[in-house]
Amino acid sequence: MRLHRNLVFAVIDGLNLIFNENKYADKVVEQLLKRDKRWGSRDRGFVAETTYDIVRWKRLYAEIAEVKEPFTRENLWRIFAVWAVLKGIKLPDWKQLEGTPSRKIKGRFDELSKIRKFKESIPDWLDAVGEKELGKAVWSKELHALNEQADVIIRVNTLKTTKATLQDLLMEEEIETLTIKGYPDALQLKERGNIFKTEAFKNGLFEVQDASSQLVADFLDVQPGMRVADTCAGAGGKSLHLAAKMDNKGQIIALDIYGNKLKELKRRARRNNVHNIETREIDSTKVIKKLHNAMDRVLIDAPCSGLGVLRRNPDAKWKLQPEFIENIKNTQQQILTDYSKMVKSGGKLVYATCSILPSENQDQVNTFLKSEGGKDFKLIKDKKVLASESGFDGFYMALLEKK
């Protein structure tokens, strides 16, 4: 591979924004890719993948480069040089890369690869939490899997097309997809590509949604004609899947504390030809009280640490703080207590997170079931999805029924 100056400069600028200005990696990459209209798909791929790669391995690369945060521009070039050497890329004779000690870099890499927190590039405190909750063997495997690049998985919009038809249409646009056993609505892209430019996407034939996330709608056991609440709906990936499962019949009330996310859900619903979703912003306790004992199904896709989705959000491990995880557990318990009141007698509730920590998952469900608010509920089943076993995002879901 030959390095091009304008592409490498874009990566350095991006890393500066992510590491020094605390910007979100996905937003930074999105901006970088708009920098030069002449860039082809290979150029764009280099900028996006190199930026994410260096974010993912920040601790390891910084340790090898012997630099500490906040990183100067010179530090960022040293980190980039480590990345390039370890990838076996021939360094050009640019002044920023002069004197790169290639042999020392490789030796240091071999040395540090014996220590998990460097090998898997993770903060000390997070490494300790993971080992304490999952045990050394499971955590080591999971951490390794969460450092793999995530595949692109899409969900077929069955309101508009079938899996086979969509595969044919995408093939016409030179995008090859594979079916995934056990995931009825999912297709996996054989190679990464900009699928948002396809006619199939513009026509609402699919949404991008990880395979693990697609399990939730089935788990909630919805039927056409039901009243369903998606209580932390966000931009509505799961609401749209529920609508398809319900054949657009019945009512889905999509709730969230962020009105702007619900606007995005409305836009997506129009493209998907979904018309049984009503959005409501939670701007007071009255919004929830009005729905007490009224819903056949309630989905609580709770806010969480997001440790199960580090493959696609590698910067989260650097942004997360120990106090955030402690605080979010209180929020999760509060949400379970408050939102479970919407379930009517005989109705069902799913509590889900994209975390792999038992303290955010099974422990929360058990605490709720022992509480005053949970005394009328019983656990029907739960499912723990580990990235190291499934190859997809880490996830948890529990199905509860109200007596």
pLDDT > 90? residue 367: yes
Cα–Cα distance measured from residue 87 to residue 96, given in angstroms and rounded to the nearest whole number? 18
The pLDDT tens digits of the residues spanning 148-179 come to 999 999 999 999 999 999 999 999 999 999 99
The pLDDT of residue 383: 98
Which DSSP symbol is given to 214?
H
Smallest Cα–Cα separation from 376: which of 340, 350, 352, 351? Answer: 340
> Residue 326 in contact with residue 351, Cβ under 8 Å?
no
Cβ contacts of residue 10 below 8 Å, gap of 6+?
32, 35, 36, 47
pLDDT > 90? residue 277: yes
The pLDDT tens digits of the residues spanning 50-63 come to 999 999 999 999 99
pTM for the full predicted model: 0.96
The average pLDDT across 294-315 equals 98
The pLDDT tens digits of the residues spanning 318-331 come to 999 999 999 999 99
The pLDDT of residue 35: 95
The pLDDT of residue 193: 87
Lookup: tokens for 142: 């999971």
The pLDDT tens digits of the residues spanning 116-133 come to 999 999 999 999 999 999
> Residue 43 in contact with residue 29, Cβ under 8 Å?
no
Residue 216 pLDDT class (50, 70, 90 cuts): very high
Lookup: tokens for 305: 């640490």
Sheet hosting strand 251-256, strand order edge to edge = 277-281, 251-256, 227-230, 295-301, 343-353, 395-402, 377-385
Show the CA angle centred on residue 141, arms to residues 106 and 325, nearest 5°: 105
The average pLDDT across 101-124 equals 98
> Residue 75 in contact with residue 65, Cβ under 8 Å?
yes
The pLDDT of residue 370: 98
The pLDDT tens digits of the residues spanning 185-213 come to 999 999 998 899 999 999 999 999 999 99
The pLDDT tens digits of the residues spanning 9-54 come to 999 999 999 999 999 999 999 999 999 999 999 999 999 999 999 9
The pLDDT tens digits of the residues spanning 247-256 come to 999 999 999 9
Cα–Cα distance measured from residue 359 to residue 238, given in angstroms and rounded to the nearest whole number? 24
pLDDT > 90? residue 111: yes
Q: Which of 18, 354, 356, 398 is catalytic?
A: 354
Cα–Cα distance measured from residue 78 to residue 65, given in angstroms and rounded to the nearest whole number? 6
In 10 A of CB 36, how many CB atoms? 13
Please report how many Cα atoms fall inside a 13 Å half-sphere around the Cα of residue 120, on the Cβ side: 22
304 is catalytic: no
Chain mean pLDDT for the chain: 97
Q: Where are the beta strands (DSSP E) in 63-209?
A: 153-156, 177-179, 186-189, 206-208
How large a percentage of the chain has pLDDT more than 90?
99
Query: How does DSSP assign 325-386, residue by residue?
Result: HHHHHHHHHHHHHHHGGGEEEEEEEEEEES---GGGTHHHHHHHHHSTTTTTEEEEEEEEE-
How large a percentage of the chain has pLDDT more than 70?
100
